[in-house]
Amino acid sequence: MTTTLDPAAQPTGQPQRTYQVNTFGCQMNVHDSERISGLLEEAGLAAVAPEAGEGEADVVVFNTCAVRENADNKLYGHLGLLKQEKRRRPGLQIAVGGCLAQKDRDTILQRAPWVDVVFGTHNVGALPVLLERARHNAEAQIEILDALDVFPSSLPTKRESHASAWVSISVGCNNTCTFCIVPSLRGKEKDRRPGDILAEIQALVDDGAIEVTLLGQNVNSYGVEFGDRQAFSKLLRACGEIEGLERVRFTSPHPAMFTDDVIEAMAETPNVMPQLHMPLQSGSDKVLKEMRRSYRSTKFLGILDKVRERMPHAAISTDLIVGFPGETEEDFQETLRVVEASRFSTAFTFQYSPRPGTPAATYEEQVPKAVVQERFERLVELQDRMAREENAKQLGATVEVLVADSSGRKAEETGRLKGRARDQRLVHFSVPAGSPVPRPGDVVTVPVTEVGSFHLVSDPTPEQYTLRATRAGDAWDRAQAESCGVPTPGAASGGKGVSLGLPTLRVGL
């Protein structure tokens, strides 16, 4: 006799089961978590409130990262906290997915046998069935595939923002960077067909989104699988033809594959934003060679020059690694030189840590921790100064801000809301007395009145403040109504009214 497991099965008369998804790592993981949430809701579960504590849900999912330092310690720390809750409430189910699950496989259940499900990066769609199988069989389920099962974008999703959306154009990576474990966990690059991508974007726009971010491990190598070297620039231009799509971004490109046709497409497509995230990793040519990054500092700086020639006001951000094995003080000085020449608006700076399974982890010349820390502090000090100087150039400028779903930790203290300018700079702004308050997803135009290293501030007068109600704001209002929120009547009627409701959704960074 064959038993068919129905992941949406709900015991008669029982309250609806709830879930909570905890995300560690990159934007790809954030996007995967939206798919996980969509799958669980399709299976009949409901999300717990954003302020709920860990372990309050019936199903707790950890979507993990294996790239960040101490990723495993972070996961097992959380799992340890849930051990007692699992004893108190045996019906609680715990699932672990993502890159660390793909890498460690059986180790997770060995170290935390109270986990119910372990699933990998290639079979996100199997989670509801695995949870039901674990409950039905009363034993843990582990399923790790070595190749992609279903392209993630074909799965249901629950977006955390009504205005903005992630769109995967490829998964996997064909590079062999010696510090990175992603290729072994995400597999070789697989590209989606352009028509499928554009259809998904159109559906998102129809649902109220006005901003999309195209995702790929090496997003600008898109097209390698079907042999079109200009596929990415063509995709950017095609996005420009989608009515209602106001902002297009992408992350993360690889400098070695960044071509002039992409720069031209960025400059000539009005809804592609004047913002670029370009990972440098190191300014030392010797270190870049050891990293197998296949570009050198001169090429990197040349790309930035071309981008700024075509888009003078573009904001450029980067990733940096300090203390790669064999890095000397001279190598580090080269990184400082390139950072100063690059004038990044933002930099995500990391201290190198050996990741098991990567070639660099076996290199003998590991840099002492104290040296890495001291260099890291010098680099952060330089970058903070660069960022403040770049932000200072925005003082007095008028910026168009897409209002975010959350207001930030200091919102009650400062009375300010927050959002992102077209160049992705974070803007905290106040609403003048007597002026309409924007909904998440609406757009305000305000002057920059103050700057910091990591954000801009605007405290406009009523005359300096402009609000434009958007379809994304309308979508937020509809969602509030569906969840018993109370939006202001008329907010969806071309700006005749604007919701005073406070944003409640968390935004993953």
Known binding residue 484? Answer is no
Known binding residue 173? Answer is yes
Q: Are 161 and 405 in contact (CB under 8 A)?
A: yes
Known binding residue 239? Answer is no
pLDDT tens figures, 199-250: 999 999 999 999 999 999 899 999 998 999 999 999 999 999 999 999 999 9
- What strand order describes the sheet that includes 18-23? 46-47, 18-23, 59-64, 93-98, 117-119, 141-143
Helical axes 329-342 vs 297-310, angle rounded to 10°: 10
Strands 275-277 and 315-322, sheet pairing:
parallel
Q: Is the pLDDT of residue 415 over 70?
A: yes
Q: What domains appear along the chain, each with residue ranges and CATH number?
A: 18-143 (3.40.50.12160), 157-392 (3.80.30.20), 398-482 (2.40.50.140)
- The pLDDT assigned to 150 comes to 60
Distance spanning both ends of the chain, measured CA to CA:
47
Q: Is the pLDDT of residue 53 over 80?
A: no
pLDDT tens figures, 313-342: 999 999 999 999 999 999 999 999 999 999
Count CB atoms within 10 A of the CB of residue 411.
Answer: 15
Does residue 239 sit in helix, strand or coil? helix
pLDDT tens figures, 146-202: 766 666 666 667 777 899 999 999 988 899 999 987 777 777 888 999 999 999 999
pLDDT tens figures, 260-271: 999 999 999 999
